[in-house]
């Protein structure tokens, strides 16, 4: 009876945590059950192929991953890793390469860390990286006077040059003292501190893939060595 109770305790404690990755990594040599499609329509199934240990995402016009995408003029195909919603420090890194469909000025996000189902006005992620503008990044604060996102083209970075690049993004989620940092090829390219970075949404995820303003061009981007970690 004691053993049974212990087992029940183990199952009870383990179950809610089972689907939450705090330390995730893949070299894309095989699939992973922790990679989720973070939007309603599975455009990712059509866009994503995995071969020779590399993830290739091919996004074309009309790939409306979320219900609101058609109305809002967005197209997307992403993967996300679910994190513990109470975690505070979140890091995501990956290698990325533009194969075709670049350069373009039309905005194309390739990675973000964000909560779903956020209150009005806080839907834009606290940290995001773009392949458009030859490489751009964004840090968001939601406090008063922080509403204007710091979105900038990254000087000295050419993310769309067809070569592999290392990207690392980091966010500390806090109502008062949040931070946001992005590194490209080991160099810090954007940093904001003292922000309200907390979106107060529902499900925290780190995401890669393409999220873009609608365009006729087909874009092909490759990803490798995706790592996500989070902690309190």
- How many chain residues touch Ca ion (CB under 5 A)? 4
The CB-of-155 to Ca ion minimum distance in angstroms stands at 29
Q: Which is nearer to Ca ion, 55 or 173 (CB)?
A: 55
Q: Which is nearer to Ca ion, 27 or 117 (CB)?
A: 27
Q: Among the candidate windows 2-10, 22-30, 38-46, 171-179, which touches Ca ion by CB under 5 A?
A: 22-30
The CB-of-14 to Ca ion minimum distance in angstroms stands at 30
Q: Dihedral (C-alpha) 191, 193, 199, 205: value to the nearest 10 degrees? A: 40
Q: Which is nearer to Ca ion, 27 or 175 (CB)?
A: 27
DSSP string, the chain: -HHHHHHHHHHHHHHHHHT--SEEEE-SSS--TT-B--SSS-HHHHHEEEETTEEEEEE-TT---STTHHHHTEEEEEEEEE--TT--EEEEEEEEEEEES---SS-EEEEEEEESSPPTT--S-SEEEESGGGSEEEE---STT--S-EEEE-TT--TTSSS-EEEEEEEE--SSSEEEEEEETTEEEEEEEEE------S-EEEEEEEEEE--SS-EEEEEEEEEEEEE-
Q: Which is nearer to Ca ion, 53 or 156 (CB)?
A: 53
- The answer to the question of residue 26 lying near Ca ion (CB under 5 A) is no
Measured distance CA(1)–CA(230) in Å, rounded = 37
Q: Which is nearer to Ca ion, 69 or 224 (CB)?
A: 224
Q: Among the candidate windows 24-32, 152-160, 163-171, 176-184, which touches Ca ion by CB under 5 A?
A: 24-32
Site string for Ca ion, 51-90 (x = CB under 5 A): --x-------------------------------------
- The answer to the question of residue 27 lying near Ca ion (CB under 5 A) is yes
Which residue number has the CB closest to Ca ion?
53
Site string for Ca ion, 210-229 (x = CB under 5 A): --------------x-----
- The answer to the question of residue 31 lying near Ca ion (CB under 5 A) is no
Binding site for Ca ion (CB under 5 A): 27-28, 53, 224
């Amino acid at each position: 009876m004691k053993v049974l109770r212990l087992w029940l305790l183990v199952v009870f404690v383990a179950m809610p945590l089972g689907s939450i990755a705090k330390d995730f990594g893949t070299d894309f040599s095989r699939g992973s059950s922790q990679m989720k499609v973070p939007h309603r329509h599975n455009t990712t199934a059509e866009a994503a192929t995995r071969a020779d240990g590399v993830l290739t995402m091919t996004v074309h016009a009309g790939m409306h991953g979320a219900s609101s995408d058609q109305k809002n003029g967005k197209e997307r195909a992403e993967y996300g890793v679910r994190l513990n919603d109470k975690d505070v420090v979140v890091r995501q890194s990956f290698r990325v390469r533009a194969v075709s469909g670049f350069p373009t000025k039309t905005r194309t996000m390739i990675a973000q860390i964000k909560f779903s189902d956020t209150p009005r006005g806080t839907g834009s992620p606290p940290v995001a990286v773009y392949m458009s503008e030859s490489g751009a990044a964004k840090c968001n604060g939601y406090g008063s006077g922080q509403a204007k996102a710091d979105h900038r083209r990254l000087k000295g970075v050419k993310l769309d040059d067809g070569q592999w690049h290392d990207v690392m993004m980091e966010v500390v989620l806090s109502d008062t003292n949040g931070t946001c940092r992005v590194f490209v090829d080991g160099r810090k390219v954007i940093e904001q501190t003292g922000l309200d970075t907390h979106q107060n949404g529902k499900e925290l995820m780190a995401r890669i893939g393409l999220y873009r303003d609608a365009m006729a061009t087909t874009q092909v981007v490759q990803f490798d060595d995706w790592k996500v970690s989070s902690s309190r």
